[in-house]
Amino acid sequence: MLRILPKNSNYFVNSQFLFLRHSSSAPAAATNEKNKEIANYADKKRIKKGSKKIPNDFRFKYQDFLPSPTARYRNSLLEKLMRKDMLERRSQVHIPEFYVGSILKVTISDPHSQGKTNSFVGICTQREYTGLCTRITLRNVIDHQGIDVAYDIYDPLIQKIEVLKLEKRLDDRMLYLRDALPEYSTVDVNMEPELLAEGAPVPVNETIVKMKPLPWMQKWERKELKGIENLDQYLNLWRKQQREKQATPWEKYDLMKEYRRTIPEEQQNKIFSEIFDRINKINEEHKIKAKAARRTITKPQNIR
């Protein structure tokens, strides 16, 4: 039996319309995609006057602007000061959108090398920290030697960050490449950038990696990684038993643990709406510069 709800209650829907939403007989607008959000959810929410509509990919492109979720280190003034400095730095260097698994080329000023610059091409294996401390690790195999180089993105020595191949992989962290066969970490140093159509979704590279025999640096079998091939063939009985013993299958359902690892949508929107205008302006300026640079490169030297 349903209680007749008072009219003035500000959060209750009128009882007449109780069964219209979320009925399973609704047209199958939903797909079987993972983490599918109801389209225009943001539109349905009351949009305050003067607030901007933040595009969905902002949180991936500008993930460094989001603070660390640990409550102990949260401070609004510190974050505000950092964001201001980050925008200043971004006006000098274009920091493009990238993911773990993309192939990047980073050029830095190096006082000890010839020509005073040094560049490195590699797969981005992990990303650490936020704000001005954001750091990425690029991995490549050069002359049969695996090399990992870590760069602070906001380091003023960095001249250029180019994305040679924008793609995602099956995992968020790819440190297992250190224990994988070297062919999976090898990237051509003279690779040409592969451009994607503007507005196209970021492709997911579903290559599955083969591992070297044990010993490994970490117990990869316990981390539920999708990018590694059948791990059981490399393990002994003890490792397999321990994996089952140490497994925590309930953790993926732990909603509050997940919440404490994230910044909720409202806070994200607040932060991004602060930087929205400035960051778009900066991006446009970089686009113009890039276009101008391309024009000068393609100009032919010998004209017949």
Partner 1 sequence: MVGKPLKSLGYAEVTKLMSELKVPVLPRHRNLSSPLGPEGRINKLRQTVTALVKYERIELFHNRADEARGYVERLVSDARRYGDQNKEMMEMASYWLLEKQLVHKLFKVICPRFHDTFDGPFTTAYNAPRKYPSETERKQYFKRVVLELKGHPFPPLLPQASYQGKYLIHNVLLDAAMKDYYQEKKLNAMQNKKEEVTESVDEEKELDNQIKE
Partner 2 sequence: MFLSKTIKTVLGTSIINDVRYTQVCFHRFKFIPKLRVPEWHFRVERRAKDRDDNLTERNKRFINEMSKKDHEKASLLKVPTVEPKEWKKGMIRCGIVAKKLGYYPLWTKDGTRICTTVLQIIENHVIKYAPPGEFNPTMRKRLGNYNKKGCLYIGSGEADPNRLTANYMGLFKESGVMPTQRITRFIIHPDAALPIGTSINALHYRVGDYVDVLGKTVDQGWQGVIKRWGFKGGPATHGTTKNHRRGGSLASGIKSRIWKGKKMPGNMGNRWRTLRGLKIWRINRKENCIWVSGRAIAGAPGSLVYIYDTVLPLRQPKEPLHFPTFLGDESKLPEDIYEETIHKFGDLTITFEPEK
Residues that bind partner 2 (CB under 8 A): 72-73, 75, 77-78, 81-82, 85-86, 88-89, 91-93, 109-111, 115-116, 132-133, 152, 154-159
Interface region with partner 1, contact rule CB under 8 A, candidates 38-46, 90-98, 199-207, 292-300 = 38-46
Cβ(218)–Cβ(173) below 8 Å: no
Question: Is 45 a binder of partner 1 (CB under 8 A)?
Answer: yes
The β-bridge partners of 120 are 106
Residue 48 contact among partner 2, partner 1, none, beta carbon within 5 to 8 Å by kind: none
Shortest distance, CB of residue 118 to partner 1, whole angstroms? 26
159 binds partner 1 (CB under 8 A): no
Find the helix packing angle between 265-298 and 76-90, rounded to 10°. 10
- Confirm or reject binding of residue 150 to partner 1 (CB under 8 A): no
Q: Report if residue 264 touches partner 1, rule: CB under 8 A.
A: yes
Beta carbon nearer to partner 1, 144 or 226: 226
Residue 93 or 202: the one with the smaller Cβ distance to partner 2 is 93
Residues in the chain: 304
Q: Return the residue of 16, 70, 76, 230 that touches partner 1, per CB under 8 A.
A: 70
Binders of partner 1 among residues 161 to 200 (CB under 8 A) are 172-173
Nearer to partner 2, 99 or 154 (CB): 154
d(CA 39, CA 182): 42
Helix (H, G, I), strand (E, B) or coil at 108: strand
| Separation in Å, CA 287 to CA 281, 282, 294 | 10, 9, 11
Strand arrangement of the beta sheet that strand 135-142 belongs to: 145-152, 135-142, 117-128, 103-109, 158-165
| Residue 285 touches partner 1, criterion: CB under 8 A | no
- The dihedral through the CA atoms of 128, 134, 140, 145 has a sign that is negative
Q: Interface with partner 1 includes 25 (CB under 8 A)?
A: no
